[in-house]
Amino acid sequence: MKIISSIVEMQSYVRSLKQDGKSISFVPTMGFLHEGHASLLREGRKRGDVLVLSIFVNPIQFGQNEDLDRYPRNMEGDCQIATECGVDIVFTPTAAELYPSGFQTSITVKQISQPLCGASRPGHFDGVATVVTKLFNIVMPDVALLGCKDYQQLAVIRQMTSDLSMPVHVLGMPIVREADGLAMSSRNVYLSPEERQSALCLIKSIKAVRAAYAAGEKDIAKLRNLALEIIGSESSVQIDYLEFCSGITLETAVVADKDTLMVMAVKVGKTRLIDNNLLNEDL
Angle between the 35-47 and 75-84 helix axes, to the nearest 10 degrees? 40
Closest C-alpha to 149, from 176, 127, 186: 176
Residue 145 half-sphere exposure, CB side, CA atoms within 13 Å?
A: 23
CA 162 to chain centre: 18
Active-site option among 34, 37, 124, 169: 37
Instruction: Say if CB 52 and CB 24 are below 8 A apart.
Output: yes
Q: Is 91 helix (H, G, I), strand (E, B) or coil?
A: strand
Strands (E), the chain: 2-4, 24-29, 50-55, 89-91, 143-147, 169-173, 237-246, 260-268, 271-278
Instruction: Say if CB 156 and CB 61 are below 8 A apart.
Output: no
37 is annotated as an active-site residue:
yes
Q: Would you say the C-alpha torsion 223, 226, 230, 232 has a positive or negative sign?
A: positive
CA distance 275 to 206: 9
Residues with active-site annotation: 37
